[in-house]
Amino acid sequence: MLKTETPSAEHAQLDQYPTTELINTLVDDQTNAVKAVRAAAPRLAAAVTAALPRMEAGGRLIYVGAGTSGRLGLLDSVELYPTFSWPHERALALLAGGQQAMFVAVEGAEDDLEQGAADLIATNPTANDVVLLLAASGATPYVLGALRAARAAGALTVGFANNTDSPVAGEAEIGVTLDTGAEIISGSTRLKAGTSQKIALNTFSSALMVRLNKVYGNLMVDLKPTNAKLVLRAVRLTMFATGADESAARAALEQCDFHVKVAIVALSKKTSIDQARALLEAARGSVRQALAA
């Protein structure tokens, strides 16, 4: 039996716990998700290293999953645009059962190996794409179908699973096993198995964006200010990075469509917006290198 499906030997009387003890037990078990991701850190680092040149060459991130895993992949893909200005068309998410499965479970969709392959092929994968394949069991047919189609197309495949020796991790070019063991509520992989996948995806995509010069120091300088909160964040980030007052920071941002990187370089080097853009382009988007030029 898969570890994620094996009834836990602990907390066999969970349904009889007082509510406070029940809450504490569920929370405490989540710490095992962090430990599982920490153990997989070398594999995540290998995935970032392999993905970087493909992204620099114009490749896409394509997330594939079913159920909770698929929804977590879709969430990571969606958040890349406002956080890092990563283009929508370069972060795709394939969910067994289609987009409606984000809100309503589509029973049986995850068992369709051929549909997984067909959905992946429909994205016209290339060798520069990175396909992230998510399955707590590590054997979801829909995900395996997509994995095999991605490999046939020459794309980089990164398989995430919560069981050791799984097909998804074993058949992918880079396998990331998040060994979270049995769940407190037997088989409910929306618990710590899901948490570990969320952490792993956050870690992978954030590290990749750092390597793509989307971060200066630890500042989120390539955000897309799509609402009032993010506009204020852009102003604060510019002020913090340059020492400029709010008026000067806002004025520079208004001249460059609130592109924080450009405003930082323009203010720090006391140059024009056009010159700041040119410096950043020559530095491949690196604020640090543009400031040193």
Q: Which residues are the active-site residues? A: 79, 110
Phi, psi (deg, nearest 5) at residue 75: -60, -45
Strand 91-95 relative to strand 130-135: parallel, antiparallel, unpaired? unpaired
Strand 174-177 relative to strand 156-161: parallel, antiparallel, unpaired? parallel
Distance between CA atoms of residues 270 and 276, nearest Å: 9
- On the CB side of 183, CA atoms within 13 Å amount to 19
State the residue for tokens 């500042």: 219
Distance between CA atoms of residues 238 and 250, nearest Å: 8
* Virtual torsion, Cα 127, 160, 121, 88, nearest 10 deg: -80
Distance between CA atoms of residues 243 and 246, nearest Å: 9
SS3 assignment, position 74: helix
Distance between CA atoms of residues 186 and 153, nearest Å: 37
Distance between CA atoms of residues 243 and 251, nearest Å: 14
Dig out the tokens for 227 from the structure. Answer: 């609402």
Phi, psi (deg, nearest 5) at residue 36: -65, -40
For residue 21, the tally of other CB atoms under 10 A from its CB is 12
